């Protein structure tokens, strides 16, 4: 449903509005264009233009550290997205469709990772892992170290919230009597979920998964606290590079990350369009 405004801006107002829109776009996209252009600059100094070169892209592809961190990022993002999508969807279902003791408390706690500052969350995670590893060490004598697994666990932890919130919004707008109707038509709990609930909330689940993927690929603060030697994600590695001094290779990495993000977003838009076309008309 959309309310169509019959009032159209006229004269000066129209030009002002159009100008404002262009200004906003310029503000968003000029830095990207600059970044893109300079990633091909032949100069060693960031921001200086010399004859174009693909040198920096070559450097990125030949740099083992970058390769390794990309691989860590991809794996962390992939697994944390899958696991948090499942767990987040389950939390959303539990909160939206069932009544149980402690529901309110859990509900409030679920929003915590979104509210508390990243740094706080990062310190909490770090302290938690260190303490937990100490206890495990003293009881079982098994030693764990910070690294890939701790990054993965932290990403799952904060991603559950994102997924749960997105899925829950979708669940709240879908009719619970549909599930009752399915149960009345002999569907078991699982069939009910698979055949009726899931198709209803699928757009929410996909949106939640995409959000989780993006947040995971983006995260610097929390990851840099719980990371260990030998396993760093790409953003954390790039951040480290900047601290040591700028190199044009950073431009190239950034452009590549941008391209991947864009591909993800366009991919998801396309997927959503296909799904909604499938479910709306015959």
Partner 1 sequence: MGELTETPGRADDAEVPRPVESVRLESVTKRFDTVIAVDSVGLSIGEGEFFSLLGPSGCGKTTTLRMIAGLEFPTEGSIRIHGEEMGLRPPNKRPVNTVFQNYALFPHMSVAQNVSFGLEMRKVAKAERTQRVAQAIALVQLTGMENRKPAALSGGQQQRVALARALVNRPRVLLLDEPLGALDLKLRQEMQSELKALQQQVGLTFVYVTHDQEEALTMSDRIGVMNQGHLLQVGPPEEIYEQPLTRFVADFIGRTNLLDATVESAEIVCLANGDRLPAASGLPAGAKVSVSLRPERLAVRPRDSVSPDMLALEGEVDRVTYMGNAVVYGVKVGWMTIEVRQENEPGTVRHEVGDEVSVTWVPEAMSLVVA
| Residues within the interface to partner 1 (CB under 8 A) | 175, 177-178, 180-188, 191, 195-196, 199-200, 279-282
Q: In the bound complex, what is the minimum distance in angstroms from residue 278's beta carbon to partner 1?
A: 9
| Angle, in degrees to the nearest 10, between helices 234-244 and 198-218 | 20
Beta bridge partners of 228: 231
* 70 closest CA partner among 182, 281, 264, 233: 233
Give the closest residue to 125 by CA, choosing from 221, 229, 231, 235: 221
> DSSP secondary-structure letter at 54?
S
Cβ-based nearer residue to partner 1, 199 or 240? 199
Q: Are 76 and 226 in contact (CB under 8 A)?
A: no
Distance CA 3, CA 153 (A): 45
Question: Taking the complex as a whole, how short is the minimal distance between the CB of residue 105 and partner 1, in angstroms?
Answer: 20
Nearest approach, Cβ of residue 176 and partner 1 (Å): 9
Shorter beta-carbon distance to partner 1: residue 196 or 205: 196
Cβ distance to partner 1 smaller for residue 6 or 280: 280
CB closer to partner 1 out of 64 and 184: 184
| Distance from the first to the final alpha carbon of the chain | 21
| Residue 184 C-beta: closest distance to partner 1, Å | 5
Q: How far is the CB of 174 from partner 1 (least distance, A)?
A: 9
Minimum CB distance to partner 1 smaller for 119 or for 172: 172
Nearer to partner 1, 42 or 203 (CB): 203
Q: Is 151 exposed, middle or buried (0-12, 13-18, 19+ CB in 10 A)?
A: buried
| Cβ within 8 Å of residue 64, ≥6 positions away | none
Q: Classify residue 154 by its DSSP letter.
A: H
In the complex, what is the shortest distance from the CB of residue 169 to partner 1, in angstroms, rounded to a whole number?
18
């Amino acid at each position: 449903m959309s309310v169509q405004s019959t009032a159209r801006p006229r004269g000066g107002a129209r030009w002002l509005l159009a100008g404002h829109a262009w200004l906003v776009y310029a503000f968003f996209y000029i830095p990207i264009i600059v970044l893109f252009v300079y990633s091909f600059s032949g100069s060693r100094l960031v921001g200086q233009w010399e004859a174009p070169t693909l040198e920096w892209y070559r450097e990125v592809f030949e740099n083992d550290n970058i390769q390794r961190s990309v691989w860590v990022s991809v794996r962390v993002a992939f697994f944390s997205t899958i696991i948090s999508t499942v767990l987040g969807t389950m939390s959303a279902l539990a909160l939206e469709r069932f009544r149980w003791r402690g529901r309110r408390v859990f509900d409030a706690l679920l929003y915590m990772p979104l509210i508390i500052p990243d740094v706080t969350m990062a310190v909490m995670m770090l302290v938690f892992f260190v303490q937990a590893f100490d206890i495990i060490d003293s009881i079982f004598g098994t030693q764990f170290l910070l690294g890939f697994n701790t990054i993965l666990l932290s990403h799952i932890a904060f991603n559950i919230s994102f997924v749960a919130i997105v899925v829950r919004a979708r669940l709240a707008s879908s009719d619970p009597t549909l599930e009752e109707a399915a149960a009345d038509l002999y569907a078991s709990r699982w069939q009910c979920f698979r055949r009726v609930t899931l198709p209803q909330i699928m757009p929410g689940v996909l949106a939640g998964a995409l959000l989780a993927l993006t947040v995971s690929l983006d995260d610097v603060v929390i990851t840099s606290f719980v990371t260990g030697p030998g396993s760093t994600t790409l953003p954390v590695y790039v951040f480290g590079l900047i601290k040591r001094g700028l190199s044009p290779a950073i431009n190239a990495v950034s452009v590549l990350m941008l391209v991947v993000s864009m591909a993800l977003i366009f991919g998801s838009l396309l997927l959503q369009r296909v799904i909604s076309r499938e479910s709306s008309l015959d």
